[in-house]
Amino acid sequence: MSEKKLVPFAVYLHNERAAPQATSGSWVRGIYTDVVEYTTSAKNTRGVAFLMGGIGGAFIAFFASGLFMKGMIHALHNDPHWTDFAVSLPFSFIFLMVGIWSLRFFGRMEFFQPQDLPILFDRQRRKVYRLVEDLDEHGKPRHKGQGKVIEHDWDDIVAEHHVTTATTGSSAQRHHTLVLMVRDKHAGDFQGPITPTNLPPYADGFGLGDAKVLSEFSTPRVWEHLRRYMNENGPALPPGETVADTTVPVTWWDSLGAVSVFGPGYDKRWAESWGWMLIMHLLLPITLPLALLMATTNWLSYKTAYPVQWPQEVLDKVGPPLHSDAMPVADPALERKQRNRNKRERKDS
């Protein structure tokens, strides 16, 4: 039986440049000797899924359920007919269940989850190490806080750039993802070259970066940085970029600063990006309530999260991280500018 694959927008190979420029996307969280560590958790977007999908979806569903319920109550006081209940009662119940499902589904996605499950790229051994949770048959961690490592050969990696289009009726938005697929060592009768319509059999795959901020232009640049690092002895960080800020917000005030222009560093942001701050304050009736809600879900997400550590045998392989003096210091302002640039590129694409 042949395996059906999604046709990617583009395929990036090891021996070909994907873009003239490279970027880490602000996802490099640690630098070791001949090893870079990528984060898989974006602090500024944590909790957003529950806010938009969970609370937002539940609000719409509960509102619709209430309308049908209101119709039944109105019918009870105005000579009701059985058809009033035959339609309103089932739909009221269905929308009620949809709202409860939204809260539960997106709540499980955001709460009581690992703080981060990073990925190590080792150019000396030409290996990729992924930290994942060891889950039982019910999808629950066997030992909370203890993960297992999945190891891949770097030479088996094929980078795929996927694009999906989401429509809202009046507009359409393209979402970009960078997926690193792992070739099956038993390729069977596959014959190259690898193209979007001629893909080899895969044994595994995983995403890199955040699909919410990747664009048509930044996606190949993220791969290009990793390709240069692993294959051409390139720098762990492109010039001018810094390691990601993966510090965990301790207070709700910290979360407010992580997800919005308010909170810690407020005065500094005015000094560095007064134009952007002015726009955010002109839209204060919208941006402030949204920031307060995002900060709350972000803080709750981190409050219920737990760390997962690399096993000691992996740490022994990669060695100690470089001293802080040897690494660029994370600058939230630079990260914010990078995110804004990615957003602009998303709109252009």
Q: What is the pLDDT of residues 102-111, one digit of tens each?
A: 999 999 989 9
Position 346 pLDDT exceeds 60: no
pLDDT for residue 4 is more than 80: no
Looking at per-residue pLDDT, the higher value among 7 and 278 belongs to 278
Q: How far is CA 343 from the centre of its chain?
A: 14
CB-count exposure of residue 278 (10 Å: 0-12, 13-18, 19+): exposed
Task: Indicate whether 71 pLDDT > 90.
Answer: no
| pLDDT computed for residue 2 by the predictor | 43
Q: State pTM to two decimals.
A: 0.81
Residue-averaged pLDDT of the chain: 85
pLDDT at 339 over 80: no
Q: What secondary structure does DSSP assign to 223-285, as a single string?
A: HHHHHHHHHS---SS-TT------PPP-SHHHHHHHHSSSSTTHHHHHHH-HHHHHHHHHTHH
Q: Is the pLDDT of residue 32 over 50?
A: yes
Is the predicted pLDDT of residue 323 greater than 90, yes or no? no
Burial of 107 per CB tally in 10 Å (0-12, 13-18, 19+): buried
pLDDT exceeds cutoff 70 at 335: no
Q: Note the pLDDT of residue 42.
A: 83
Mean pLDDT, residues 320-341 taken together: 55
Q: What is the pLDDT of residue 35?
A: 94
Residue 328: pLDDT band by 50, 70, 90 thresholds? very low
Predicted confidence at residue 134, as pLDDT, reads 82
